[in-house]
Chain A
Amino acid sequence: MLAYIVRRVLATIPVMAFVALFVFSLLYVAPGDPAAVIAGDQATPADVERIRASLGLDRPFLIRFGEWVWRILQGDLGVSIFTNLPVATMIQQRIEPTLSLMIITLILAVSVAIPMGVIAAWKQGTVIDRTVMGFAVLGFSVPVFVVGYVLAYIFALELDWVPVQGYTPIKQGFWPWFQNLILPAIALGTVYIALIARITRATMLEVLQQDYIRTARAKGAGQRNILFLHALKNAAVPIVTVIGIGIALLIGGAVVTESVFAIPGLGRLTVDAILRRDYPVIQGVVLLFSFVYVLVNLMIDLLYTILDPRIRY
């Protein structure tokens, strides 16, 4: 197992190298110029040229790429072209809100979606099943920002139960932190709940047809034991896979959710950096997201061995 983990961690190096090259090349050929954005609407072309030169943006691709990689190898993600702040500091400022949002969304989604999927499978063909599947279709169909606006209108603007926007760090108290995140988590989690509920239902339906379930029933096992002990455990591998894949969905959805609820997370940082062409920040954030994604995949692979002892690496 240890050898496997080491192999997988080492395998992230070429993946990250490829991502680095890809992102750098993409930004190099993409239209847009941070010097023009910095110089502003009133700048003359000469001003833009001088700012471009001062930022080193007029140098050849290979030199710029080489310097960037050299700095990365030394653990330096560079400095934002606009704010002059180290990219690592900017990421550090933004990581807590995004992580908080993702954790709450994940907890909410898993704790709601799995029981929903299990019950829908158990009650297949009934009103409960149709209601759950109807919710799943709705969850897939309604965009995150629409759910966000509706929730904000009802619970923040009309009922005044929670703030409309913003983020409170957890060190300032659990309740203020949670108040700021509950609506965004529901908005972001809707599609995720729909996805997990559907997969759980489909997998459970398959598992519930298996012989060992019939045997358990014949032995007089209770319905709850059959569903959650025998069936769900055997259905867990595909569900965990979907949860892992869904983390990519969460990263994408966080960009929209953070905009709607003005949460100062990594999603907003990425969009702002792209709009400004703040290359060091874009590169740093994309590298981080890639690394997280590779790490999540590794964790899921390891989880398989716990959920299904037949899987060995």
Chain B
Amino acid sequence: MQRRDVFKLGAAAAATALPSFAIAQPAQNRVLKMVPQANLTSLDPIWTTANITRNFGHMVFDSLYGMDAQFRPQPQMAAGHSSDDGGRSVTITLRPGLKFHDGEPVRAQDVVPSLQRWMKRNPFGQKLATLTDDILVVDDMRIRFRLKKPFPLLFHALAQVSNSPAFIMPERLAKTDPFQQVREAIGSGPFRFKANEFNSGSLVVYERFADYIPVPSGSPSLTAGPKIAHFDRVEWHIIVDAATASAALQTGEIDWYEQPPPEVQQLLRRNRQVVIEAIDPLPLGSILRVNHLHPPFNNKALRQALLPAISQETFMQAAVGTDPALYNTGVGLFTPGTPLANDAGLAPLMGPRSIDRARALMREAGYTNQTMRLIGPTDILVPAALTQVGADLVRRLGFNADIVLSDWGTTVQRRTSREPVERGGWSMLFTSFSSFDFADPAAHFPLRGNGTNAWFGWPDIPKLEELRDAWFDAPDLAAQQAIARDMQTVAMDELPYIPLGSYKSMTALRANLTGRVPGLALYWGIRRG
């Protein structure tokens, strides 16, 4: 064999190798590997309000209307709608050709039970139910709402982004008791859930749904617009350890780490292959909730006495670090940057903070060293940080405080107790909510004032409920904004909770990913550049 023969063999080998490389490279590029914020356990986004199941829902299911980044509902599965009878009859028509992942067509017969199930669990849906006489199947492609009175926010309700959105399921699944979990995850969304590869706590796999028909026009904006999947396969790798997840992102074993904690973000910023950005341009809200049923915080004056000592900046820095770009202070009831955000009634939270002033007000309020119990988690990042600051605060204020820190599972159980402190109840807790939850009064749980039916803490503030009802009937945005100001004024006086500021949740991606749709971990639009 001559030397030139060796070269020829080498060239031939290279020629045969090249095409296979060219094929292998795009195949690798069509898989997106990401570490989600939590483990996926439940597959029913109506049954549970867990954010991870909501994100799962946005991949697998679709809704009649999507919400754009300006909080305007846009048709998604719907082709459009028409109104009759002065707005009391609303007919929604489905887009043609929509299919579920089992190959069955999406029909009005699927939509009606899906909405009925959702209306039993979602607060906006529950409100809609009180205004609805009936939802009818007109034909395979059309449903009709027969309303008791015109409801301008109908499409806002149907387009809800968070907290059990109005996802459409096949009729056989949609007829499941809303307090029982559906047995399958069959939707009509842009990704199909691969049940045979599901390993809860380790791996969740989705594949692009080839029969999905995106909205024909517009551009992706939150959950509205065309949902075009650029990856054939999306894998959620559940990695609970932040150091391991960040190392995997740096080596390229994963493409996207949804919620790196602040200390890991600092490390990742040094890597040029990784980009850190806010997952949602709008910030999350943090709150201090007190129990209104029992002493000491059934005393309105004592709740107000806390205000001079509350430093939103301190709470936010504990949550996300000292970079002011990552948090907002001077925050009221509604998410900063949304139409209803305002500054009414916020004066007591502004200006210099004073522990001494708070102590004096506590004495004036008649605080006589009653025991108060602060409960909080140690294993959920932001609530744990808020709780630590809160625990320090109540000690410095001189409360006779019993600080009970536990895992999240125990905290969420303890907060359901309506008993007084001496029988295992609680007085104070700290937590946070997504930007969507605080965007308006519809899904704003801590703002409810409906007593024992309210969110944990059970404030009884009828005026807040009246204003909430008025908000649903408000004819336009200006009227809604005026009501929102009134609600904030009442709330900052009665204090169903104390706002602690808002913060941005950061996400980390490989720098070669582009086109991510801001708002949530959404998987359409995003592609490898």
Contact = CB atoms under 8 A, between A and B. Distances in A.
A and B found bound together:
yes
Interface string A91-132: 001100000000000000000000000000000000000000
B179 A165 contact: no
Contact of A268 (B240, B379, B410, B418): B240
B133 interface: no
Nearest to A46: B453
B202 A264 contact: yes
Which of B49, B244, B433 has the most chain A CB atoms inside 10 A of its CB? B244
A166 B49 contact: no
A39 B240 contact: no
A71 B183 CA distance: 21
A262 B456 contact: no
Nearest to B54: A40
A164 B413 contact: no
A242 interface: no
A82 interface: yes
B419 interface: no
A32 B413 contact: yes
B262 to A, nearest CB: 19
Interface string A249-269: 000000000011110100011
B408 interface: yes
B270 to A, nearest CB: 13
Contacts of A47: 121, 179
Nearest to B412: A36
B201 A163 contact: no
A160 interface: yes
A31 B405 CA distance: 12
B41 A276 contact: yes
Contacts of B177: 54
B379 A275 contact: yes
B200 A90 contact: yes
A179 to B, nearest CB: 12
A37 B244 contact: no
A82 B38 CA distance: 14
Interface in A109-162: 149, 152-153, 156-157, 160
B236 interface: no
Interface string B40-62: 01110001111000000000000
A264 B248 contact: no
Nearest to A271: B240
A51 interface: yes
Given A40-B49, A83-B43, A262-B244, 15 more contacts: A31-B413, A33-B413, A38-B47, A40-B48, A41-B49, A41-B412, A45-B452, A47-B179, A54-B179, A82-B42, A259-B241, A262-B241, A264-B199, A268-B202, A272-B200
9 contacts: A31-B410, A44-B453, A51-B47, A83-B43, A94-B201, A94-B202, A163-B251, A165-B247, A262-B238
Interface of B: 39, 41-43, 47-50, 121, 163, 177, 179-181, 183, 199-203, 237-241, 243-245, 247-248, 250-251, 253, 379, 406-410, 412-416, 418, 431, 433, 437, 443, 445, 452-456, 458
Ranked nearest first, the 5 interchain pairs of A and B with the lowest CB-CB distance are A264-B202, A40-B49, A33-B413, A82-B41, A36-B412
